[in-house]
Chain A
Amino acid sequence: MQPFTTLTGVAAPLDIMNVDTDMIIPKQYLKTIKRTGLGTGLFAEMRFNEDGSENPDFVLNKPAYRKAEILVAGDNFGCGSSREHAPWALLDFGIRCVISTSFADIFYNNCFKNGILPIKVSQEDLDKLMEDARRGANATMTVDLQAQEIHGPDGGVVKFDMDEFRKHLLLNGLDDIGLTMEKAPSIDTYESKAAKSRPWL
């Protein structure tokens, strides 16, 4: 997994509440057996018309945002299904950071497994960042995970909270399966205890 330390890039405004994972990556893209190549399906039903042509009104089709690396979105981003294809699609498109007032639990979790940083901010801060994002390609933001800060184009700084353990994994790009496997003795001990107390399992 690619570590996430700092990111400076264009932020795209997606001012919609409850952006669900069906919107992020529609089901026709879930038939793959790979993790890569899903960027073409990102927001497909909003990005493309029925005939496959681009919808020029959709934010990521506008010249200023075609190379966006940060998404600023409305409340409850990523609700719905557990499909990890949603963060895979964001990553494949080039988006490595999503900022919102809240995220659905499973999507939030899935981001960290893929080197994507989801940042929760207050409504007031979100409104400000959304305004910044609307300024287009000339208004880049810098996200500093170590310092837990977002630096806006006009020098403003928004602080954010982050779980220490998740931060550690993301900063170092660590594979958590490898970390857990180091705890195999604890898992063995648990299993032998459980085999006595709940032998029917």
Chain B
Amino acid sequence: MANSSAPRTLYDKIWDDHVVDTQPDGTCLLYIDRHLVHEVTSPQAFEGLRMTGRKVRAPEKTLAVVDHNVPTSDRSHGISDPEAATQVAALAENAREFGIEYFNELDKRQGVVHIIGPEQGFTLPGTTIVCGDSHTSTHGAFGALAHGIGTSEVEHVLATQTLIQSKAKNMRITVDGKLPAGVTAKDIILAIIGEIGTAGGTGHVMEYTGEAIRALSMEGRMTICNMSIEGGARAGLVAPDEKTYAYLMGRPKAPKGMAWDMAKAYWETLVTDEGAHFDREIRLDAANLPPIVTWGTSPEDVVSVAGVVPHADSGHTEQKKAAIARALDYMGLKGGEKMTDIKLDRVFIGSCTNGRIEDLRAVAKAVEGKKVASTVSAMIVPGSGLVKLQAEEEGLDKIFKAAGFDWREPGCSMCLAMNADKLAPGERCASTSNRNFEGRQGFKGRTHLVSPVMAAAAAIEGHFVDVRNWG
């Protein structure tokens, strides 16, 4: 047991409350409270259970949904891609056979796994949450220890409701000050990744704190925690507060009545103690942040929208110079080009990073009464069926359609381009998603990561614009 008198971080506290067993070398068996399952990384895990005759230990702590593979066009007549259809059918069958609750492609609660967890109140403060998807870090916005796992670990959690883990190090990222108008949670996290690099958080759990984080909505905090993995961290965390409780109260799977009061009393203890030790500290001032655009093929390749594409010789090491040269070549860019001169073919608004209602409201506000540039094809993919319904109740869909956006069905869509939504070779896209890797949005496709409002403005103008003086 940990020494309860020593000051502990939020991560330490959640960790301590979930240790089932500790081996002499420090390796722990960690209890998992919540397990989210989707169609792409689970079939082999269920197959493993079948082959060994094992059962799912706690089906009631497991929730399954299809999101990665489903088309975002009308799917009431089935899924035409035979491989995708096989994977979706496999999840439906596995959920039925092992007694797991499952949201199918026609369920209004269906959506990107990291959007529906919070939406259903399945995601709760102080819990451990895993999913066979690296963006599980999203749920850390609620003060839950949440991280992605591989398929073998999915099988391990299904069979035992635990994971074999070594404790990570603690890292604190403090974001002081107030965000300027036009600058968002997405810009904060891109700036952080630019600062620490994509391996900067490796082996750490990051806790985000400071005035600018406190001021963010739950949606904004989810955007930040979502991309912790792009900074290399296993998980991101924000301590729960009144905003967290207000978001969760009344959600279908959140506790009710006396259970709520009891839970809330526990959640209020989930803060980092004064004097707790962090292995690494980073500080940022939100007031100085510009809207950010990625220029290259790694999320750390960030630049202010008011800036220029870097030159290859700006790399500090030979390896870095080679990486910049490779990225410039792939992206079809030259060092010194102004970001606002970069013209776009496509715009993608959606994903577990920025597919929530607040993101869609920001986009609607930016594009109301305007038209998407004739040279651009722009799509909006709501994060879930409930986000879609909410947007339609608010009339946002009408604004999008009038402006020339394609309004789609929910799913992961062109964030990873497993379905029909993808870039053609050479196409350039402003995307609210999380990865700009080579080929991520389609073979030879070129991705620039931005906030929803930056994507919206780029769709209207046909090139990047500085939203601080646009509109």
Residues of A with Cβ closer than 8 Å to B?
15-18, 20, 22-23, 26-28, 30-35, 45, 50, 74-76, 79-84, 87, 102-106, 109-110, 113-114, 163-165, 176-177, 180-181, 183-184, 186-187, 190-191, 194, 198-201
Complex CA distance for A157 and B74, rounded to whole angstroms:
60
Shortest A174–chain B CB gap in Å is: 11
Complex CA distance for A26 and B91, rounded to whole angstroms:
21
Query: A82 touches which one: B33, B41, B43, B161 (CB < 8 A)?
Result: B41
Complex CA distance for A74 and B326, rounded to whole angstroms:
14
Task: List chain B residues, Cβ under 8 A from A30.
Answer: 40, 68, 418
Complex CA distance for A190 and B149, rounded to whole angstroms:
22
Q: A27-B418, A177-B159, A200-B262 are in contact. List 5 more A-B contacts (CB 8 A).
A: A33-B86, A84-B150, A183-B29, A191-B31, A201-B127
Q: Decide if B73 is an interface residue (CB 8 Å cutoff).
A: no
Shortest B389–chain A CB gap in Å is: 27
**Residues 407-438 of chain B: 1 if any A CB is under 8 Å from the residue's CB, otherwise 0?**
00000000011100000010000000001011
Complex CA distance for A177 and B52, rounded to whole angstroms:
10
Task: Establish whether residues B259 and A177, one from each chain, have CB atoms under 8 Å apart when the complex forms.
Answer: no
A sample of 30 inter-chain contacts (CB < 8 A) reads: A17-B322, A27-B417, A31-B81, A34-B44, A34-B47, A45-B439, A45-B443, A76-B232, A79-B199, A80-B437, A81-B435, A82-B132, A82-B148, A82-B150, A102-B202, A104-B199, A104-B232, A106-B234, A110-B150, A113-B150, A163-B25, A176-B156, A177-B54, A177-B155, A177-B156, A180-B159, A180-B160, A186-B29, A190-B31, A198-B126
Task: Establish whether residues A200 and B263, one from each chain, have CB atoms under 8 Å apart when the complex forms.
Answer: yes
Interface centre among B81, B124, B149, B152 (most CB of A within 10 A): B152
Task: List chain B residues, Cβ under 8 A from A87.
Answer: 150
Task: List chain A residues, Cβ under 8 A from B320.
Answer: 17
Task: Establish whether residues B44 and A177, one from each chain, have CB atoms under 8 Å apart when the complex forms.
Answer: no
Query: A18 touches which one: B164, B263, B298 (CB < 8 A)?
Result: B298
Task: List chain A residues, Cβ under 8 A from B147.
Answer: 106
Known: A23-B437, A33-B87. A84 touches B152 (CB 8 A): yes
Shortest B380–chain A CB gap in Å is: 21
Task: Establish whether residues B319 and A17, one from each chain, have CB atoms under 8 Å apart when the complex forms.
Answer: yes
Shortest A82–chain B CB gap in Å is: 4
Task: Establish whether residues B437 and A22, one from each chain, have CB atoms under 8 Å apart when the complex forms.
Answer: yes
Query: B84 touches which one: A31, A84, A186 (CB < 8 A)?
Result: A31
Task: List chain B residues, Cβ under 8 A from A181.
Answer: 54, 159-160
Complex CA distance for A23 and B124, rounded to whole angstroms:
34
Task: List chain B residues, Cβ under 8 A from A201.
Answer: 33, 61, 124, 127
Total A-B residue contacts, Cβ distance less than 8 Å? 186
Query: A165 touches which one: B23, B148, B159 (CB < 8 A)?
Result: B23
Shortest B170–chain A CB gap in Å is: 15
**Considering only CB atoms, which chain A residue lies closest to B168 in the complex?**
A105
At the interface, is chain A mostly helix, strand, loop or mixed?
loop
Q: Decide if B384 is an interface residue (CB 8 Å cutoff).
A: no
Complex CA distance for A30 and B27, rounded to whole angstroms:
31
Complex CA distance for A18 and B57, rounded to whole angstroms:
37
Complex CA distance for A87 and B41, rounded to whole angstroms:
13
Q: Decide if B249 is an interface residue (CB 8 Å cutoff).
A: no
Q: Decide if B198 is an interface residue (CB 8 Å cutoff).
A: yes
Q: Decide if B278 is an interface residue (CB 8 Å cutoff).
A: no
Query: B156 touches which one: A16, A104, A180, A191 (CB < 8 A)?
Result: A180
Interface centre among B68, B84, B126, B134 (most CB of A within 10 A): B134
Task: List chain B residues, Cβ under 8 A from A33.
Answer: 43-44, 47, 86-87, 90
Q: Decide if B466 is an interface residue (CB 8 Å cutoff).
A: no
**Residues 192-235 of chain B: 1 if any A CB is under 8 Å from the residue's CB, otherwise 0?**
00000011001100000000000000000000000000001010
Task: List chain A residues, Cβ under 8 A from B438.
Answer: 22-23, 45
**Considering only CB atoms, which chain B residue lies closest to A201 in the complex?**
B33
Task: Establish whether residues A82 and B199, one from each chain, have CB atoms under 8 Å apart when the complex forms.
Answer: no
Task: List chain A residues, Cβ under 8 A from B151.
Answer: 35, 84, 110
Shortest A107–chain B CB gap in Å is: 8
Interface centre among A15, A81, A187, A194 (most CB of B within 10 A): A81
Task: List chain B residues, Cβ under 8 A from A180.
Answer: 29, 156, 159-160, 162, 164
Query: A163 touches which one: B81, B149, B166 (CB < 8 A)?
Result: B166
Shortest B196–chain A CB gap in Å is: 12
Complex CA distance for A32 and B43, rounded to whole angstroms:
8
Complex CA distance for A61 and B199, rounded to whole angstroms:
29
**Considering only CB atoms, which chain B residue lies closest to A81 in the complex?**
B134
Interface centre among B47, B151, B326 (most CB of A within 10 A): B151
Shortest B30–chain A CB gap in Å is: 10
Complex CA distance for A76 and B298, rounded to whole angstroms:
12
Complex CA distance for A50 and B198, rounded to whole angstroms:
29
Shortest B22–chain A CB gap in Å is: 10
Shortest A179–chain B CB gap in Å is: 8
Q: Decide if B153 is an interface residue (CB 8 Å cutoff).
A: yes
Known: A176-B156, A177-B54. A22 touches B435 (CB 8 A): yes
Q: Decide if B268 is an interface residue (CB 8 Å cutoff).
A: no
Shortest A164–chain B CB gap in Å is: 5
**Residues 68-84 of chain B: 1 if any A CB is under 8 Å from the residue's CB, otherwise 0?**
11000000000001011
Task: Establish whether residues B319 and A35, one from each chain, have CB atoms under 8 Å apart when the complex forms.
Answer: no
Q: Decide if B287 is an interface residue (CB 8 Å cutoff).
A: no
Query: A199 touches which one: B27, B57, B262 (CB < 8 A)?
Result: B262
Task: List chain B residues, Cβ under 8 A from A26.
Answer: 439, 443
Complex CA distance for A50 and B126, rounded to whole angstroms:
48
Complex CA distance for A165 and B21, rounded to whole angstroms:
14
Task: List chain B residues, Cβ under 8 A from A190.
Answer: 20, 31
Would you list which residues of chain B between 108 and 129 have a CB under 8 Å from chain A?
A: 124, 126-127
Task: List chain A residues, Cβ under 8 A from B29.
Answer: 180, 183, 186-187
Q: Decide if B255 is an interface residue (CB 8 Å cutoff).
A: yes
Task: List chain A residues, Cβ under 8 A from B33.
Answer: 201
